[in-house]
């Protein structure tokens, strides 16, 4: 339960980074919500990797490159799921505010991310 709480805190920080970058891009650039979100997601992934590695799960016993690859694989899959849901919501409901679509899509991707990170990326090998 402690790891789940820490994961949700790290995810909350990632959400703030994602939403903040998206908001800044929408406010200060000509980018729309689709391009803006494609640019905000990598910022959030970097923030959550750092927090999940150092605060939530602890460093794995894999090399930094292997851990980074696994984290990126799960993160990219989760981000694609998140982005697909975000885009689908905006296309199907044109009056929906982008921040609401972001909240709904992020919530849906959270369970997938926790499972992937805890089982595939940061799972510590047991000594035989």
Which is higher by pLDDT, 107 or 95? 95
Q: 127 in a domain, yes or no?
A: no
Domain containing 51 equals 1-121
Q: 109 in a domain, yes or no?
A: yes
Per the CB < 8 A criterion, the answer to whether 92 and 46 are in contact is: no
Look up the pTM and report it.
Answer: 0.74
Q: 128 in a domain, yes or no?
A: no
User: Interior CA angle at 75 toward 47 and 116, to 5°?
Assistant: 115
CA distance 64 to 49: 12
Q: According to the model, what pLDDT value does residue 37 have? A: 85
* Highest-scoring range by mean pLDDT, 38-47, 82-91, 98-107: 82-91
Of the chain, the percentage scoring pLDDT greater than 90 comes to 55
Domains held by the chain: number: 1
């Amino acid at each position: 339960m402690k790891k789940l709480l820490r994961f949700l805190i790290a995810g909350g920080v990632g959400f703030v980074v994602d939403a903040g970058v998206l908001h800044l891009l929408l406010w200060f650039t000509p980018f729309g919500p689709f391009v803006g979100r494609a640019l905000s997601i990598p910022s959030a992934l970097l923030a959550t990797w750092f927090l999940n590695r150092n605060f939530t799960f602890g460093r794995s016993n894999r090399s930094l490159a292997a851990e980074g690859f696994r984290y990126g694989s799960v993160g990219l899959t989760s981000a694609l799921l998140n982005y697909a849901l975000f885009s689908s919501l905006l296309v199907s409901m044109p009056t929906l505010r982008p921040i609401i679509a972001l909240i709904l899509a992020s919530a849906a991707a959270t369970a997938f991310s926790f499972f992937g990170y805890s089982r595939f990326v940061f799972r510590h090998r047991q000594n035989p």
